[in-house]
Structure 1
């Protein structure tokens, strides 16, 4: 596994075959997922065909030479893709401009690019995208999850898009940003 530290300082690695991501969780995140969120997440994920949520395979406590660590194992959405751009969108432009050397761009970067080179989304894809965004933000708000983001990658060959405040306000701000940038109906 190739490992690194994420922006938060958490351990982050990909499996040797690149299919999985292993991300370190804080104790309170592990506790919340194992006691409250986990069952609801799996129920939601299994009952919802239109979702943009990453597929989580499980959470584990592992023992390292530095002591116990909590980790989440999930699918690698970038598997087998050659991305020319990656965006981590949180639905806010406050402090969301990436440094020029950043691999992953942020909301302000996305807005600036969209002004000059908007990514096209077919009407069917746009409808599915909006339904999934609504479903996911409604679910995340209902389980009181804050500080989520939408990861978007732009495939090198097809140029296709691969796809915190109180939960209700965050949901509203997130949806407003996505509606504006993707020109969604807002219904």
Structure 2
């Protein structure tokens, strides 16, 4: 994915501010804002407006840190470019044209169905946009930052797990050593704890859910099943369950967050749910299968949406139904 030029970050910020500065309720499904050289299209604008605090969005966008857009990489083949608002409440993230069209044509009807449940695990999206000029088209989503609601800053994060339920290439180098080092530092209450990142095979090695009540584990499994069933119905794959632990002083219990001991809490959310199992993904599946790009007892991540759903659910059942 090509990096978005600085001018695009500046322009989309300016146009989004204009878009949300309109006070009257907009009824059109898709709304267009135009400057001299740029055009911004906001998909399903009226529906998204029901999910947001308009003034809060405007204030946050005034602080968008487009000077230093970041590349988020948890070991994936592709990196996603995004920028935080300076208050870290929202993320403006680049998506592909294919993902933009998938939401427009198909996924929107499933997305609004899922988030109708206030306790849903999906990291909420608040807007999807196309920015177009004479030379280029760029596509963005405005999303919540899972950390923000519970006042969790980067320096307070202990671990992040990105879990897909797959096995092939889902392991982190030197994870065991890093995990043991972190556990020792936590026991001694060290002031600085290095961030631990893990994937599916790493997660199997630890007893992460041992402090969760049986009721909480059952609720979480039911929520994972319910939402992954809907995602499969929408032909969606390649999504992840992100599990974040960190020091959280003020929080409320809920499906998203579980408060554990010593001010350590766990935030759970489903991310990266814009990928359709389309013809490109089918070719990727066949290529990796034909050329044996995984061990015989492992499955590649790129599989059809129903297989992905079943594997996703089975993976978490082994932890949550003990």
Q: Shorter-normalised TM-score: what interval?
A: 0.7 to 0.9
Q: CA deviation at 1:40?
A: 2.2
TM-score of the superposed pair, with normalisation by structure 1? 0.86
Consecutive unaligned residues of structure 2, counting only runs of 5 or more, are 1-64, 179-194, 249-262, 269-301
1:176 and 1:73 map into 2 onto residues whose CA distance is 31
Deviates more, 1:102-111 or 1:36-45: 102-111
Deviations 1:61-115 (A, max 9, x none): 2358x8331011111001221220001000122211123498632112211233x
1:87 and 1:68 map into 2 onto residues whose CA distance is 33
Per the alignment, residue 283 of structure 2 pairs with none
1:72 and 1:25 map into 2 onto residues whose CA distance is 7
Per the alignment, residue 127 of structure 1 pairs with 218
Q: CA deviation at 1:119?
A: 4.3
SS state of the match for residue 211, structure 2? coil
1:24 and 1:138 map into 2 onto residues whose CA distance is 26
SS state of the match for residue 113, structure 1? coil
Deviations 1:100-156 (A, max 9, x none): 498632112211233xx6542122321221111011110100000010110000123
Does the 8 A contact of 1:50 with 1:128 survive in 2? no
Does the 8 A contact of 1:89 with 1:149 survive in 2? yes
Distance 1:129 1:16, change over 3 A: same
Does the 8 A contact of 1:119 with 1:161 survive in 2? no
Larger radius of gyration: 2
Does the 8 A contact of 2:123 with 2:146 survive in 1? yes
Per the alignment, residue 52 of structure 2 pairs with none
**Which of 72, 91, 98 is the matching residue for 2:172?**
98
2:165 is equivalent to residue 84 of structure 1: no
1:104 and 1:20 map into 2 onto residues whose CA distance is 22
1:44 and 1:113 map into 2 onto residues whose CA distance is 30
Deviates more, 1:103-112 or 1:139-148: 103-112
Does the 8 A contact of 1:54 with 1:77 survive in 2? yes
1:59 and 1:99 map into 2 onto residues whose CA distance is 35
2:165 and 2:267 map into 1 onto residues whose CA distance is 17
Per the alignment, residue 321 of structure 2 pairs with 184
- RMSD after superposition: 2.4
1:39 and 1:74 map into 2 onto residues whose CA distance is 18
Consecutive unaligned residues of structure 1, counting only runs of 5 or more, are none
TM-score of the superposed pair, with normalisation by structure 2? 0.52
